[in-house]
Amino acid sequence: MRHLPIILVILLCAILARADAPPASRPAGDAAAQVAAVIAEYDKAMADFSQAYAAVKTPDEQQKVMEKYPQPALYLSRLLTIAQDNPKTPSAFDALKWIIDHDRAQTPTGAAALKIVTSDFAADPRAGEVAADLTWSASPAAEAFFQAVIAQNPDRTAKGMATFAMGRLKKSQAGDARQIQSHSVDVNADEAFLGKDVFAAMMKMDPDALTKEAELLFEKVRAEYADVKGGFHETLGKSAEAELFELRELAIGKTAPDIAGEDIAGQPMKLSDFRGKVVLLDFWGDW
């Protein structure tokens, strides 16, 4: 299973676990002003943190600044309350989307927000934006949201985004279930990371069936929503093509596609030149 770098895992745990009691009061004014005020408060705290972090010079100073990282958990419940007080309004949608964008429905507050979005906003044209936010979510409730959007939303972009996001979910579930069931990862760590219920469900999943479901969803995206802007490659069509190529050509057990480049001496080389030999490919990025 793909894990976040350790520093991000620690940070994520801090974000989700440090549930200091949120302020009881909400900003005065109408719902839109309340939502804007809470988000502006978070944005200012994040800007102050970033400025302080950029100025640190020693590891000790860095640690002290990290302790002041703005915790989204302090703002999530405040926004959820505003949404609950103003049901089915644009302001409620804005609050719920912010929660999901910063939580991915991983905490009880995020799960509650996703439940409301599914029941109240599945037919809203902006539901596609929420689907994009949930592309990397491991929440079981994400699938119910995608299905609701596909079934109820009249907006083609929203339907396409939900279809693509559900394909990504099925693909991720297939890979994770395959690795967990083969014990090729630290199952104890995965159970702690995913939660007992999600982990137990993955132990019962059929990775091959999930992979087939993902392929069918990406095929549907390619056939019906190819021109829609979104995904990871400009359009949903290009993004679906990339996902299908990975599933069909880059999966474990497949013959690796040829790669051409230069060796460390600057001489041309191809992966096929080393067929029959053990080859270590090191892919890396800097962002």
Over residues 41-54, the pLDDT tens digits come to: 999 999 999 999 99
Q: Cα(7)–Cα(134) distance, rounded to whole angstroms?
A: 22
* Domain end point (choices 91, 120, 149): 120
Same domain membership, residue 73 and residue 202:
no
The answer to whether residues 240 and 174 belong to one domain is yes
**Sole residue written with tokens 């990282």:** 69
Question: pLDDT value at position 281?
Answer: 77
Do 116 and 129 sit in the same domain of this protein?
no
Given 92, 120, 148, the domain boundary residue is 120
8 A C-beta contact, residue 109 and residue 72: no
Indicate if 25 and 14 belong to the same structural domain.
Answer: yes
Q: Estimate the share of the chain in helix, then strand, then coil, as percent rounded to the nearest 5.
A: 65, 5, 35
Q: Do 49 and 146 sit in the same domain of this protein?
A: no
Site of tokens 């069918």: 216
Q: Contacts for 13-21 with beta carbons within 8 Å, 24 or more apart?
A: 14/69, 14/71, 15/69, 15/71, 15/72, 15/73, 16/73, 16/103, 16/106, 16/107, 18/71, 18/73, 19/73, 20/71, 20/73, 20/74
Residue 10 to residues 13, 18, 110, 119, Cα–Cα distance (Å):
5, 12, 19, 33
Q: Does a structural domain hold residue 13?
A: yes
Tokens of 23: 């302020």
| One-letter amino acid for residue 171 of the chain | K
Q: Which domain holds residue 204?
A: 122-261
Residues 208 and 109 in one domain: no
Shortest CA distance to 93 belongs to which of 123, 137, 63, 55? 123
Q: Which tokens in the block code for residue 1? A: 């299973």
- Coil vs helix vs strand at 136: coil
129 and 254 in a single domain? The answer is yes
228 and 101 part of one domain: no
What distance separates the 2 farthest-apart alpha carbons in the chain?
70
Please state the domain count of the chain. Answer: 2
Please tell me the predicted confidence (pLDDT) of residue 286: 65
Task: Confirm if 205 and 173 have CB atoms less than 8 A apart.
Answer: yes
Residues 186 and 214 in one domain: yes
Same domain, 56 and 184: no
Among 120, 155, 174, give the residue marking a domain's end: 120
DSSP 20-66: PPPPS---SS-HHHHHHHHHHHHHHHHHHHHHHHHT--SHHHHHHHH
Positions of the chain with pLDDT lower than 50, given as ranges: 1-25
**Structure confidence at residue 155 (pLDDT):** 96
In a domain, 284, yes or no: no
Per-residue model confidence as pLDDT tens digits over 79-110: 999 999 999 999 999 999 999 999 988 889 99
Phi, psi of 259 (to 5 degrees): -125, 130
How many helices (H) and strands (E) would you count in the chain?
13, 2
